[in-house]
Amino acid sequence: MAYEKDTLSRDIHEDVVLSKLGYHQELKRSFGLLGMVGFSFSVVTSWTALGSVLIIGVQSGGPPVMIWSWLGICIATLAVAYSMAEICSAYPVAGGQYSWVAILAPPQVARGILAMGATNNFIGANFILGQANLCFPTYTIERWHTVLVAYFFAGFGTAANMFGPHLLDRISRAAVVWNLLAFLVIITVILATNDHKQPASFVFSEVQNFTGFGTAYVAVIGLLQSSFGMCCYDAPAHMTEEMKSATREAPKAMVMSVYIGAITGFAFLVAACFCIGDITTTAESTTGVPLIEIFYNSTGSIPGTCFLSSMIVVITLIASNGLLAAGSRSLFAFARDAGLPFSQLFAKVNRKRQIPAYAILLAFVVQIALNSIYFGTITGFYTVVSIATEGFYLSYAMPLLSRLLAYFTNHVKVIPGPYTLGRYSIWLNTLGLLFLVFTSITFNFPALNPVDKENMNYTSAAVGVIGLISAVTWFTT
């Protein structure tokens, strides 16, 4: 009874904080700390993300670039995560980054900002079709096959959010167990069964280059794989209105997911790189997924390879659910502030299920549109990964920039939440912002040389279109 009263008191406190920010509570608070750590980690799921985009790392520098860039990315990411956690503690609203910008930016520069990343639908599609190719070598994977299977993952995430919102907390807690179990099983199996491991020099120092560019350039574009493996940790910020004790627990969940992701990601990369067979065979695998080739090279078993790959497919399904949830809450919050066309529609909450149903459907449409890029370009997967990562990184950069502007213009000197960085706040914000700006620029670089219309990286064009749409939306809503 006392526990229930304490929980009710904390929920009332969170509702009061939300009210002071100008909003009233509409969504159900069901997430605890463990559930939110699971939700966040199931979205970040660094080791799976790294394995899923291994094709980028294998072609752009190989094992040394993957491993050393991962360590650097993780250290810089902690500066960003701690900075955003401090802001989230003070302003626990579903809009996350865009809401923080509107609050922190000096009045003369404040604007509404929405950053919408793509999902991991391609990743799940690649693993499913890659297994099909492994089992039936005569089967040729076509681009349209990949897109259609990606649509399935988008549809799955949408259905789970529409019809099972009451299960999100339970799914998230189970996701932690499954994710860590799959991690331990996979690295144990490939290390135990592989009897022809690569030497340490290959893993830590011998750069591999399949791009046609110089070594220095390859090291820079190789950052994309590590950067993709360490994003989406802002997910708790978009679920704060559905979380108990959000001002204290959401920041913890955000930072904890980065630490867990950093450790599991490093261990996985080292294990996978030692177990890579011939680098050319791995990069040019007909499965389209180098990690499947590594599994097969290690185990020598098609059933064993499919079992390990299927564990990752399950993680991808869980991630599609989490990404759809976080993205739809961002859209809901943006519409609630009249920041979208037809905002009244997308800001509606289904009273029975207590979910932003129309925002969920809009997020589904955006995912489908991004997945469809692969119809038009052979580097569609690389481009979507770049768009997704740059979208997230720019959305992280804006509140950090606003925080610094607020501090130096005396608009907001001290972030008022219970989770505070104290005297380290400005230094960590500055370090994080510099890292985000640098990496966001590199995501626009082409991946193959010579560059033509088929292999061009269209990230800059896509970001430009999104910027144009945002500008039109700003002036017309």
> What's the pLDDT tens digit per position in 303-314?
999 999 999 989
Q: 323-346, pLDDT tens digit by residue?
A: 788 778 878 887 887 777 888 898
| Cα 303 to Cα 186: distance, rounded to the nearest angstrom | 14
- In the structure, how many helices (H) and strands (E) does the chain have? 22, 2
pLDDT of residue 107: 55
* pLDDT over 50 at 410, yes or no: yes
Whether the full predicted model's pTM is greater than 0.85, yes or no, is no
% of the chain at pLDDT higher than 90: 18
* pLDDT over 80 at 181, yes or no: yes
| Cα 316 to Cα 45: distance, rounded to the nearest angstrom | 9
The confidence band for 192, taking pLDDT boundaries of 50, 70 and 90, is very high
Q: Which residues of 324-351 are buried (b: 16+ CB within 10 A; e: fewer)?
A: bbbbbbbbbbbbbbebbeebeebbbbee
**Which residues sit opposite 112 in a β-bridge?**
none
Handedness of CA 179, 379, 393, 168 (dihedral sign): negative
**Strand, coil or helix: 58:** helix
Average pLDDT of the segment spanning 9-37: 71
**Strand, coil or helix: 387:** helix
Q: 43-58, pLDDT tens digit by residue?
A: 777 888 787 777 777 7
% of the chain at pLDDT higher than 70: 86
* pLDDT over 90 at 285, yes or no: no
Handedness of CA 418, 423, 428, 429 (dihedral sign): positive
Average pLDDT of the segment spanning 402-411: 88
| Per-residue DSSP letter, 300 | -
Q: What does each C-alpha distance from 86 to 76, 135, 146, 191, 425 come to in angstroms?
A: 16, 49, 40, 40, 8
Highest mean pLDDT among 6-20, 64-78, 136-150, 241-255: 64-78
| Cα 114 to Cα 148: distance, rounded to the nearest angstrom | 27
* pLDDT over 60 at 379, yes or no: no
